[in-house]
Amino acid sequence: MILDIFQYGFALRAIEAGIIVAIIAPLIGIFLVLRRYSLIADTLAHVSLAGVAVGALIGFNPVITALLATVVSSLGIERLRTSKKVYGESALSLFLSGSLALAVVLLSIAKGLNANLLNYLFGSIVTVTTNDIFIISALAAVVIVTLLLFYKELIYITFDEEAARVSGIPVRSINAILMVLSAFTVSISIPIVGVLLIAALIVIPVVAALQLRQSFAKTILCAEAISLFSVLAGIVVSFYFDLATGGTIVLIMLIIFGGVSVWKK
């Protein structure tokens, strides 16, 4: 029997959240990917798991605790990286393993949350609450407005950091802003794709769009199209076939990436 996806409130909420996430992720992703920062998305995702664990433990909305954890860590990572006391990727490793360890310990204290945990790890359209939608929309608005405000500075720094500095752009502050926005984006994406696959959402549509070799503006548009299609298709497919939403979305993105790569060869 075929169920009508639009009859279900949770499915509609998932679609709403999915559209928001699909729009935001590539906007941040293009700057992270081009600056070889892709792994920051993954690291912040693991940090967000620790945040989720804290939320679960104290009974607070996990999206909010994840947001706090990722924002603080993103600034910590940037600080460690620019201090040059630790190599960039070592800074990421410290945060990645440290937060995962913290999450595991916290979750072992709060026993009985294991079923819920799977939803946070891999994403599930059932977990999206109306409250989540409200938080996600607010965060998304902040991300979009901030990106628009610093769009030209971000492009310049991403393309040529040194020349951007010589032209008087406050590179350090803008880098910090990008990190905080990445933290926001990761937190927004948790309910839909889950902690473990957030990085894929931020990175894959951009990498696929880059294969098309277009202008910066067109590359963003292509990444947006790939992202929106994959997320919506992933939600619908996972709904009808009872699959994990996050995994389905990421697999669809990878198929598109593969197709684009082969076509452009």
CB-CB contact of 181 with 146 (8 Å): yes
Rule CB under 8 A: say whether 175 interacts with other proteins. Answer: no
E strands, the chain, are: none
| Rounded Cα–Cα distance for residues 155 and 243 (Å) | 38
Q: Which runs of consecutive H residues, i.e. helices, occur in 150-197?
A: 151-159, 161-166, 171-193
What is the C-alpha R_g of the chain? 18
Is residue 162 close enough to count as binding other proteins by CB under 8 A?
Answer: yes
Largest Cα–Cα distance in the chain?
64
Return the residue of 1, 213, 241, 242 that touches other proteins, per CB under 8 A.
Answer: 213
Stretch that binds other proteins, among 39-47, 137-145, 215-223, 233-241 (CB under 8 A): 215-223
Burial code (b: 16+ CB inside 10 Å, e: under 16) for 15-24 equals: bbbbbbbbbb
Q: Residue 105, Cα to own-chain centre: how many angstroms?
A: 24
Residue 214 engages other proteins in binding (rule: CB under 8 A): yes
Look up residue 14 and give its two tokens.
Answer: 């998932």
Site pattern 33..72 for other proteins (x: CB under 8 A): -x--------------------------------------
Q: What span, in angstroms and rounded, lies between the C-alpha atoms of 10 and 19?
A: 14
Closest separation in Å from C-beta 112 to other proteins: 48
Least Å distance between CB 79 and other proteins?
20
In this chain, which of 110, 210, 225, 254 binds other proteins, going by CB under 8 A? 210
Which string of x and - marks every residue 122-161 that binds other proteins (by CB under 8 A)?
A: ---------------------------xx-xx-xx--xx-
Binding flag, residue 264, other proteins (CB under 8 A): no
Least distance to other proteins, CB of residue 152, Å: 5
**Secondary structure class of 1 (helix, strand, coil):** coil
84 belongs to the binding site for other proteins (CB under 8 A):
no
Q: Is 177 in the site for other proteins (CB under 8 A)?
A: no
C-beta of 59 vs 168, nearer to other proteins = 168
Residues in the chain: 265
Is residue 12 a contact point for other proteins (CB under 8 A)? no
Rounded Cα gap, residues 5 and 12, in angstroms: 8
- Would you count residue 254 as binding other proteins (CB under 8 A)? no
Question: Position 105: which residue type?
Answer: V
Smaller CB distance to other proteins: residue 217 or 262? 217
List strand residue ranges (DSSP E) for 91-203, in order. Answer: none
Q: How far is the CB of 35 from other proteins (least distance, A)?
A: 10
Q: Which residues bind other proteins (CB under 8 A)?
A: 34, 149-150, 152-153, 155-156, 159-160, 162-169, 209-210, 213-219
